[in-house]
A = this chain, B = another copy of it.
Amino acid sequence: MITRLSQLFLRTLRDDPADAEVPSHKLLVRAGYVRRIAPGVYSWLPLGLKVLREVERVVREEMDAIGAQEILLPALLPRDPYETSNRWTEYGQGLFRLKDRKGNDYLLGPTHEELFALTVKGEYNSYKDFPVTLYQVQTKYRDEERPRAGILRGREFVMKDSYSFDLTDEGLTASYRAHRDAYERILQRLGVKYVIVSATSGAMGGSASEEFLAESEIGEDTYVRCLESGYAANVEAVKTVVPEPIPFDGLPEAKVHETPDTPTIDTLVDWANGAGLDRTVTAADTLKNILVKTRVPGGEWELLGIGIPGDREVDAKRLEASLEPAEYVLLTETDFANNPFLVKGYIGPKALQENGVRYLVDPRVVDGTSWITGADAEGKHVVGLVAGRDFTPDGTVEAAEVRDGDPSPDGAGELVSARGIEVGHVFQLGRKYTDAFEVNVLGENGKPVRPTMGSYGIGVSRLVAVIAEQQHDDKGLRWPAEVSPANVHLVIANKDDAAREGAEALAAQLDGAGLSVILDDRKASPGVKFKDSELLGVPLIVVVGRGYADGNVELRDRFTGESREVPADSALDEVLAALRS
């Protein structure tokens, strides 16, 4: 196919759009791939749509290869199934809700666990029918609070979501593995640099869960990795390395000190280093006790004390993930007033445990560790309070921040943090939805069996932005061959009639060989055309320019920037060879 730039519905822009902050957004707009219609809502112009379709094709090929079957569910969905799963409420403001002319409630589907469970329930009723995996490539809707970066975080977007149904946990593990492998192949074919991180499950509920994060400094997800072992995890999913317990023998006794005006860790450390304790004290030697209120769904608010080493802050996301499904809030002044044993700035384990407050500590607070911590009285701290001897926590909690340099959970080295963009998620859902919709099938032994589900998503339109983000350079976009809007960008950079005819003949040759060609047949200057060829990002650029008089055309590699002259006669073969390499 030959796409003539003189005809193509395309206008490239010299300037970055005012509302764009990240490179992919700027370039996709400047190159005429997408246009903004509303916040987080975009149009796909011809070249953008071609790339989107290529990404879809790759995703479909890899889904089909693992035996997943494509179907297509509606985006406009009735409220009922989402009421049954409780997600009508749980999704909060993230859901687009609407009413039809009769006043019935509908939503625009953000993800389709409910409908797939119901679809399988509707068709299948015997163990012989399983396992089955279904997928769709579909336009989805989420009313994001902060739509961002063009198509990177849109409110209308294209996603491939699939759902596996197995009768056994082993089956689910196999389906999960097949998807995980397929996602790796997809991202490799698309040239995406990614890491797979352990993830918490968010609002979905379930067990094993991993995210595919595209490496990117502009990503919104922070994760940590160990360069030595390749371990990677969402910050929420990092398990703290637990030190060995320390024998109590010979540990000095705990002693309460007068520590006036030391309500903060800094002031406490200053006091300790001036108190003649015969050692240098750091914040890591102190135990900071934070109070929150938690509530399990349907339950009452309860106090919870959290003890973490004083050199670390509480990471709200990690605490939230650890307490799920319970929620938590910070204490109010009224709470402190109602619980006078909580002495602000001087809270210690003792008062908490004496007053029946549940007390969880950082996993580093193992038996035998000795702490400087609050003595539950204004201006007093206790030194040498030993875990397991002087206090016994009710358990541990992953609430402390993870820091660069922390040991990797696999023991292979240190963790470093990085940023990424979530492009995929694989998730062993379990029976949450098959329970909710009472999906039963006849088992081999004649008794009903409840299938277990996996749910797997990959962001198709987001991947277009991610590829642009990872591959671009300062001149413009650069597309991997697999998703490029054309195989060759052929520039006519010579006003001579013979050169123009030669270029047309070469375009016809390339087309005849099954290649797709963008032919820049416009009357613009060579400079303008070269700039546009770099901006549009087709990986192989062929120039019919000055050298044509000597029988040569130029091949430019958009990725390396290298160019070389080849005889016009053998241009077709040279192009085919370059594309194969």
A11 contacts across to B, CB distance below 8 A: 123-124
Once the chains bind, are B78 and A38 in contact (CB under 8 Å)?
A: yes
Closest B residue to A42 using CB positions: B74
Is the Cβ of A101 less than 8 Å from the Cβ of B93? yes
Does any Cβ of B come within 8 Å of A72's Cβ?
A: yes
**Chain B residues within 8 Å of A339, by CB:** none
Q: State whether A115 and B71 are in contact (beta carbons under 8 Å apart), knowing that A32-B123, A123-B11 are contacts in the complex.
A: no
Q: B73, A43: Cβ atoms under 8 Å?
A: yes
B37 touches A132 (CB 8 A): no
* In contact, A9 and B49 (Cβ under 8 angstroms): no
User: Taking the nearest CB of chain B, how far is it from the CB of A515, in angstroms?
Assistant: 17
Q: A9-B123, A123-B32 are in contact. Are A100 and B70 (CB under 8 A)?
A: no
* Residues of chain B within 8 A of A108, CB atoms compared: 76, 98
A122-B37 Cα distance, complex, nearest whole Å: 11
Residue A71 contacts which of B44, B93, B155 (CB distance < 8 angstroms)?
A: B44
A71 to B145, Cβ gap below 8 A? no
Nearest-Cβ distance from residue A461 to partner chain B, whole angstroms: 10
Residue contact B74 to A46, C-beta cutoff 8 Å: no
> For residues 350 through 404 of chain A, which have their beta carbon under 8 Å from a beta carbon of chain B?
none
The answer to whether B44 touches A78, judged by C-beta atoms less than 8 angstroms apart, is no
Q: Are B98 and A155 in contact (CB under 8 A)?
A: no
Q: Are A141 and B37 in contact (CB under 8 A)?
A: no
CB pair B101 A98 closer than 8 Å? no
Within A25-43, which residues are at the interface with B (CB < 8 Å)? 32, 35, 37-38, 41-43
A134 within 8 A of B: yes
Q: Determine if A139 and B75 form an interchain contact, defined as CB atoms under 8 angstroms apart.
A: yes
A20 near B: Cβ within 8 Å? no
Q: Which of B35, B73, B96 contacts A76 (CB 8 A)?
A: B96
Is the beta-carbon distance between A74 and B115 smaller than 8 angstroms? no
CA distance A10 to B70 in the complex (A): 12
A325: Cβ under 8 A from any B Cβ: no
Expressed in whole angstroms, the Cα–Cα distance for A122 and B36 within the complex equals: 11
Report the separation of the CA atoms of residues A52 and B156 in the bound assembly, to the nearest whole angstrom: 22
The answer to whether A134 and B9 have CB atoms under 8 Å apart is yes
Say if the beta carbon of A8 comes within 8 Å of chain B: yes
Which residues from B are CB-within-8-Å of A8? 69
- Check A481 for interface membership: any CB of B closer than 8 A: no
Q: A7 CA to B42 CA in the complex, in Å?
A: 38
Contacts of A37 in B (CB 8 A): 73-74, 77-78, 115
Min distance, Cβ A278 to any Cβ of chain B, angstroms: 59
* Interface flag for A84 (CB, 8 Å): no
Report the bound CA distance from A243 to B565 in whole Å: 79
CB distance from A89 to the nearest CB of B (A): 15
Contact between B101 and A145 (Cβ–Cβ < 8 Å)? yes
| A408-451 interface (Cβ within 8 A of B) | none
Interface residues of A in 73-98 (CB under 8 A from B): 73-78, 93-94, 96-98
A45: interface (CB < 8 Å): yes
A245 interface residue, CB < 8 Å from B? no
Q: Are A70 and B46 interface neighbours, CB within 8 A?
A: yes
Chain B neighbourhood of A236, CB < 8 A: none
CA–CA, A141 and B76, complex, Å = 9
A481 CB, nearest partner CB in chain B, Å: 22
Answer yes or no: A230 CB below 8 A from chain B CBs.
no
Task: List, in ascending order, chain B residues with CB within 8 A of A132's CB.
Answer: 9
A119 in the interface, Cβ–Cβ < 8 Å?
A: yes
Interface membership of chain A positions 131-154, coded 1 if the CB is closer than 8 angstroms to chain B and 0 otherwise: 010100001010101000000000
Q: Could you list 9 further interchain pairs (A-B, Cβ under 8 angstroms) beyond the known A11-B124, A139-B139? A: A9-B123, A9-B132, A37-B74, A37-B115, A46-B70, A52-B72, A74-B156, A76-B141, A76-B155
A residues neighboring B (CB under 8 Å) = 7-11, 32, 35, 37-38, 41-46, 49, 52, 67, 69-78, 93-94, 96-98, 100-101, 106, 108, 115, 119, 122-124, 132, 134, 139, 141, 143, 145, 155-156
Q: What are the nearest 5 A-B pairs in CB distance?
A: A98-B98, A44-B72, A93-B101, A38-B78, A11-B123
